[in-house]
Chains A and B, each alone.
Chain A
Amino acid sequence: DTGVSQDPRHKITKRGQNVTFRCDPISEHNRLYWYRQTLGQGPEFLTYFQNEAQLEKSRLLSDRFSAERPKGSFSTLEIQRTEQGDSAMYLCASSQQGGNTEAFFGQGTRLTVV
């Protein structure tokens, strides 16, 4: 499978715990994006990387959220001190730099904070 891969697919955690999600993009793609989607809404942009550089962060991304992309390959999204409002689907997408911005999504990680 050469698509975008996300792990885990589902995560249930207690409020206050830290969680970390992983995304493996399509191998030749140098751009990687994180989005959050709640029920009945479209995905909301969180942050994106070009290679290992984090180029943009949404104001939605509180200081409890941090993302990394060491070596410009896979990326991790960590949420510290989770809150019930963090319950959502976390989506990762990747694309190639250049005029073509076709971005392909993974299957997402569904987070439930109890």
Chain B
Amino acid sequence: QKEVEQDPGPLSVPEGAIVSLNCTYSNSAFQYFMWYRQYSRKGPELLMYTYSSGNKEDGRFTAQVDKSSKYISLFIRDSQPSDSATYLCAMSEMNNDMRFGAGTRLTVKP
């Protein structure tokens, strides 16, 4: 079993839809949770960063962490074609290396 599990998709939604992306993990020591967006042949771009459990909102993006269930989510409201990318979840223990999911490929159709 991988430390971080993420459904690779692909996921296709119409413009304006609410997108839900999820990851599960097995290491209860993870405390820092991140979502990165990666366009084709580019480096990952940090979208959201959360410490421990709870919700965090930034514009159209909301990140949720449920440590009791070892489950994290990213919601994208009013999705746009420019949101089409691969979304990577990542997590780490105290200030050390991040473990990534495989990434979910999202396409938002106009």
Contacts and interface: CB of A to CB of B under 8 A. Distances in A.
Given A42-B102, A42-B103, A43-B100, A101 B32 contact: yes
Contact of B43 (A42, A56, A58, A108): A108
B80 interface: no
Interface stretch (B44-52, B56-64, B65-73): B44-52
A48 B42 contact: no
Contacts, number: 64
Contacts of A89: 41
Nearest to B105: A40
A99 B92 CA distance: 12
Nearest to A101: B32
Interface of B: 4, 6, 8, 32, 34, 36, 41-46, 49, 51, 88, 90, 92, 95-103
Interface of A: 4, 6, 31, 33, 35, 40-45, 48, 55-56, 58, 89, 91, 97-108, 110
A40 B51 CA distance: 27
Contacts of A97: 95
A104 B44 CA distance: 8
Nearest to B42: A107
B43 A105 contact: yes
A38 B46 CA distance: 19
B97 A48 contact: yes
A45 B102 CA distance: 13
Contacts of B88: 42-43
B43 A40 contact: no
